[in-house]
Amino acid sequence: MSEIRVGIAGAAGRMGRMLVQAVLDQPGLRLASAWERSDSLAIGKDVGELAGVPALGVVISDSPQKGFAAADVIIDFTTIPSTLDHLPLALEMNKPMIIGTTGFDAAARERIAAAASKTPIVLAPNFSVGINLMFQVAAQVAQVLGEAFDIEIIEAHHRHKVDAPSGTAVRLGETVAQALGRSLPEVAVYGRQGHTGARDRQTIGFATVRGGDVVGDHTLLFAGEGERLEITHRASSRLTFARGAARAAQWVVGRAPGLYDMRDILGFR
């Protein structure tokens, strides 16, 4: 295949416009379709003009069906209901999906995993290359420091983010917990208030900040007696995530059915 055709769901949103730019910047990809919810004011407009680039000849539609049919791979950074509604189309048309939507509960993740048994899906809480390297480093650091350090995860995002803690923060917690042989649901502490008593060293704490236009900050803190180690990643542009998603779109076409994440794209496993 000389050129991979990409369809973008939610193309008129903040992240959608960044995805358009990233697809245009990625060699070997071509933007083939774009769509929005039926009440969007962007319907009928050229997606390039909305993304701040010259007109591309791709008009934003209100039809996911047409968007899927015109593309070889779909990038979806929309909402939980929309993403789940797109899964049957991916199965019907045998199209791979790149899913950057976050906040799925266990039942929704099971639906995605079931779909991935029939068509390849890349699901990641964060498509930044730097963050995924942070996941890799976090596991190694946790194994070295072992039980002697308390672990806290601090994340900050813009005022519009609807889920907390972020999917990236949860993945950091899962990564560290697994490295230490712990179960995150059993040891996670999501915020503290009042008389909490002494800290249980087995716990992994989460602190969430929401405000302004913060794109995404994550800090993994290992606090020991007499020393602290902090691993921090700060994203200053959504284009970072969009470029990772475009890279994943190029990688996934032609793969066997399965549920993949950025560790697969980056060769970490």
pLDDT tens-place string over residues 219-238: 999 999 999 999 999 999 99
pLDDT tens-place string over residues 39-54: 999 999 999 988 888 8
Q: Report the relative pairing of strands 227-235 and 216-224 from DSSP bridges.
A: antiparallel
Tell me which of 86, 157, 218, 233 is the catalytic residue.
157
Delimit the domains of the chain by residue range.
4-123+238-265, 129-235
C-alpha 148/C-alpha 161 separation (Å) is: 34
C-alpha 64/C-alpha 187 separation (Å) is: 40
Mean pLDDT of the chain: 95
Instruction: Judge whether 161 counts as a catalytic residue.
Output: yes
Q: Residue 211: pLDDT above 90?
A: yes
Do residues 265 and 136 touch, judged by C-beta distance below 8 A? no
Strand, helix or coil for residue 129: helix
Q: Residue 1: pLDDT above 70?
A: no
pTM equals 0.85
The per-residue pLDDT for 97 is 98
Classify domain 4-123+238-265 at the CATH superfamily level.
Answer: NAD(P)-binding Rossmann-like Domain (3.40.50.720)
**Architecture in CATH for domain 129-235:** 2-Layer Sandwich (3.30)
pLDDT tens-place string over residues 120-172: 999 998 999 999 999 999 999 999 998 899 999 999 999 999 899 999 999 99
Tell me which of 161, 195, 218, 233 is the catalytic residue.
161
